[in-house]
Structure 1
């Protein structure tokens, strides 16, 4: 069910949430001046992932997760920036000659 809904395995999703929480204070559970807990890191990442996976509009997600529209857009913006910052060197790079050769060998 999780894999079908988010188009990734649960342990990968939780690793992303954990990495973002460590690198960006926005993805941590905080308490406001009235001692009320804010939106959890899981909810923020879930919001961004659902928007990316299904191409959902911000107002559709805010009804599902009960977050305001401006917060939804901020979650998405920070999520994308955080993913690029965290994983760019490993996963978001141009293929090397070795990568291209490996791909070509697999298709033959």
Structure 2
């Protein structure tokens, strides 16, 4: 439980060593209340994230440890063994937890945040754009280069773009309420945004 105690002291104590803003947000790409909401949803969805005892009566890793390990890897691309040092978990446990975390998030929050818009949703999005001075706008689309750290050597040249690193390009449209109603990714980093838009199903 040493890892759980360290996390509590560093991030969740009344006077944490690393406060919510800006350190927590910089390290996990979200504010602490959002992290806690996701953790509670994942914990309620999958018993894997609940604190239990094994056959030797030893406590398992806490939900905070598991969720922090997964988010650190997903948000920053940190290696599993480096994350393990922070949360006191083994590399294989960090990898297993990340897969379970991703599945739990999609299953728990997908019906609310990962759905395609219907006719009623489209009207709502157009009304929001109109109220903000952008009539006829459904959303703001954006692309970014995401580093592919473990890109196979045989594919590296194809995925190199304006940087020396191999990258893939995700494209997304998100509402002000964090509803991701369009996502398209996998294009190699050698493409520019116009090439991505031409291949995107959003149009």
TM-score (norm 2): 0.49
Structure 2, gaps ≥5 residues long: 1-22, 135-203
The number of equivalent residue pairs is: 108
Q: 2 CA distance for matches of 1:107 and 1:40?
A: 46
Q: 1 CA distance for matches of 2:24 and 2:51?
A: 23
Tell me the CA shift for residue 26 of structure 1.
Answer: 0.2
Aligned counterpart for 1:2 among listed residues 4, 9, 24: 24
Q: 2 CA distance for matches of 1:73 and 1:99?
A: 39
Matches within 5 A, 1:21-40: 21-40=43-62
Alignment-derived partner of residue 47 in structure 1: 69
Tell me the CA shift for residue 3 of structure 1.
Answer: 1.8
CA 1:23–1:37 in structure 2 vs 1: closer, same or farther (change >3 Å)?
A: same
Give 1 or 2: higher strand fraction. 2
Q: Is the aligned partner of 1:61 residue 2:76?
A: no
- Which digits, 9 at most, give the CA deviation of each residue in 1:75-99, with x for residues without a partner? 1001000000011111112244236
Determine which structure has more spread, i.e. the larger CA radius of gyration: 2
Structure 1, gaps ≥5 residues long: none
TM-score (norm 1): 0.87
Give 1 or 2: higher helix fraction. 1
